[in-house]
Structure 1
């Protein structure tokens, strides 16, 4: 019996390793089977756009923001053209490196020749309903590839020779969109809120150097028989030296060109301006209060840079009356009409209502990114598109009253205490409001 028990123990000791090995083999086989049969969930890959490099014109090595949605509606002309550009400039699709510069849009010799002789003979893809569109929409479609126009009146020294005030760079460059015939508007702005020179703030009195330019196109004689005002414009420019005029028709849908061409002028002649205000010639701005606000933003930005030890970080400030989730107006009788055959989708956030302020460094970035965004006939929306391409959004400020004060408050100077911009005012109203604000400031 003892011999039998000894053999049983020996048998158990022999079988135990075999059983453990068998369990291990089964576990390994099950794990392999599960691994082979497992299908991971698919990850949707989105294309990405070039990021912004803080030290040069080069693209960042790692893209920093979302690319335009490549599933754009192919049936709309603008979407289709932007779709092509998105693929052309996509660093993944074209093997981009951090040292590769984004090429400018190249026009064919035929298109260049057409642009130079008559901007409205430029080649463009035709819309299916082209012949039924309003005249301004047809004109825009036929010339939307033209992005360079001769400068008829220039002010190359606008931002130089500022030693009179002991300053090198303008704290604020005011760029006002005007038309040739709006002499009264321009003169009212010169005598009130757009006065060039050293302007003090309303609170800390620091203020800064202000320079004002007026952005004009060529007088549009196609809308009716108007007298030739070019001689009067020459005399005005000789006296004030603040006119910038380009050789394109000054129509509502061509206001986008004023942004585009102004950014080019700024890069060449005034790249050191700290802040830019771009507005219409029927708005009223409390320039001193705006300078107070901008000084505060500049100080906060410098404190932020110091705290993070990012001395090279640029300021991406843009402020105004922000409009979000806006859709194109499909009513053919309104001036903002955009047909569905031209554009589909919701507009990106943009600052509208006649005035917006942004940093000078952002203005130079807008000039660069505009080479990758198709022209759009509404200037405010186009600025929003360029910002969206940079991965930025405008900041809303309640002091930008684009729809004016309540009627009962319009004539009360103290109602303007928190206002930075109000729209809209005639030249006579600008002068009267300016005088009232100067005399009532202490009482408010």
Structure 2
């Protein structure tokens, strides 16, 4: 009898002890998940590391920033965009912890749709928030979930206009324009956006060079009458130059973000061999030879693969805030968004590597559309734990007439906002002045600090 009791005791110990250990482990895991998923506790998570000062506003979570922390008011219960993005970040954080890796594109796209539908369940709350927005933002909200629009026109050559060659182009110039701005497009074609082979700025016309392609990005006019008129003209223009990429989306300031995503998608599918992309306005003047020189230096900067992966530069705004003036094209009311903006490069001109654009397209699938394109790019960058690098030779508006009249002045800049198509052509002609006189003129300091060069 004693032996039988001893045998049963051993069996109970062998079965119950492992079972109790497993239940205890499961309880700890569940408790950790519950604590981690609480919004107030995310910023206190012991494994979270803060981003560098150049990229404020995100929490590191593997290779992606899991949840914005500083640059927008996460606890705000009034701002429309804040509430939408809060739901996406909360659910993304849950998926990230459960899966142990980056959720796929299908999951992240579903999160965006789910956050909108979740808010729409309470129709009274949604209608109240939407009615508080200006009319143009009400229209914007109605189409926030749409990211695909038909292509009306594409460039004749592969990946834009440019001379055919065996090797891929170094640089693609992606220039934002509208159907009515024909004179600006012509000035770009006759100056810095000529395409084909471009010599690097090395003094005396010597040095290396590279192939450059060109494409103009645009939508359609809102007026049906103007849309029909310009449609025929744009087809004739594209037949002649072969550099137009047009989508069936209205060309309004608030649709700049959608056009940005449409371009990134087209670029991913069409431009496999391009190394860098310049995205800018048709009002800008660009010193293309100096740009080629800068990019070739970048290609030879060790380690090349690492620097190419994260490369983006321009005129950077740090710690920007929403414009609350209703008269501004960048007006964002408090009922739509509250908080700071992440660091972003001005939309006048931004230079990025091709690998980074493809990564930005991927991460954009978990960031709700924002009406200001340049800010939206900053929001996507911060979720990659990145921030654009400021380059002092990108001068959107702070060049004086006295500086411009100096000999060789155009040799010392990478970008400048022009007053007219004539002004753009004059600046380009300035690059052709006496090369002996301008041989020692270079653009302003490099974007890299002494620590990064080591």
> What do residues 339-388 of structure 1 show as CA deviations (whole Å, max 9, x unaligned)?
10100100000001500100011010011011011111011101111111
Following the alignment from structure 2 to structure 1, what is the Cα–Cα distance between the partners of residues 370 and 113? 21
Shift of 1:257: 1.2
Matches within 5 A, 1:249-398: 249-300=250-301, 303-304=302-303, 314-352=308-346, 354-398=348-392
Aligned-partner SS, 1:431: helix
2:155 aligns with 155
Following the alignment from structure 1 to structure 2, what is the Cα–Cα distance between the partners of residues 95 and 286? 49
Shift of 1:84: 1.2
Following the alignment from structure 1 to structure 2, what is the Cα–Cα distance between the partners of residues 149 and 364? 19
CA RMSD of the aligned region, Å?
Answer: 3.2
Structure number with the bigger relative contact order (C-alpha 8 A, sep ≥ 6) is: 2
User: How many correspondences in the alignment?
Assistant: 374
Shift of 1:154: 1.9
Aligned-partner SS, 2:266: helix
Shift of 1:71: 3.7
1:214 aligns with 216
Unpaired runs of 5+ residues, structure 2, are 1-40, 50-59, 118-122, 439-454
Shift of 1:229: 1.3
> What do residues 182-220 of structure 1 show as CA deviations (whole Å, max 9, x unaligned)?
111111101100111011111162121100101111112
The answer as to 2:432 corresponding to 1:438 is: yes
1:73 aligns with 76
Matches within 5 A, 1:187-198: 187-198=186-197
Unpaired runs of 5+ residues, structure 1, are 1-41, 50-59, 113-122, 306-310
TM-score (norm 1): 0.76
Cα distance 1:424–1:134, how it changes in 2: closer, same or farther (>3 A)? Answer: farther
1:240 aligns with 241
Following the alignment from structure 1 to structure 2, what is the Cα–Cα distance between the partners of residues 62 and 439? 51
1:97 aligns with 100
Cα distance 1:134–1:46, how it changes in 2: closer, same or farther (>3 A)? Answer: farther
Aligned-partner SS, 1:195: coil
1:117 aligns with none
Q: Which moved more, 1:361-370 or 1:202-211?
A: 202-211
1:178 aligns with 177
Is the CA contact 2:277–2:354 (under 8 Å) kept in the aligned structure 1?
yes
Following the alignment from structure 2 to structure 1, what is the Cα–Cα distance between the partners of residues 287 and 48? 41
Aligned-partner SS, 2:255: helix
Following the alignment from structure 2 to structure 1, what is the Cα–Cα distance between the partners of residues 102 and 383? 20
Following the alignment from structure 1 to structure 2, what is the Cα–Cα distance between the partners of residues 394 and 108? 29
Cα distance 1:332–1:195, how it changes in 2: closer, same or farther (>3 A)? Answer: same
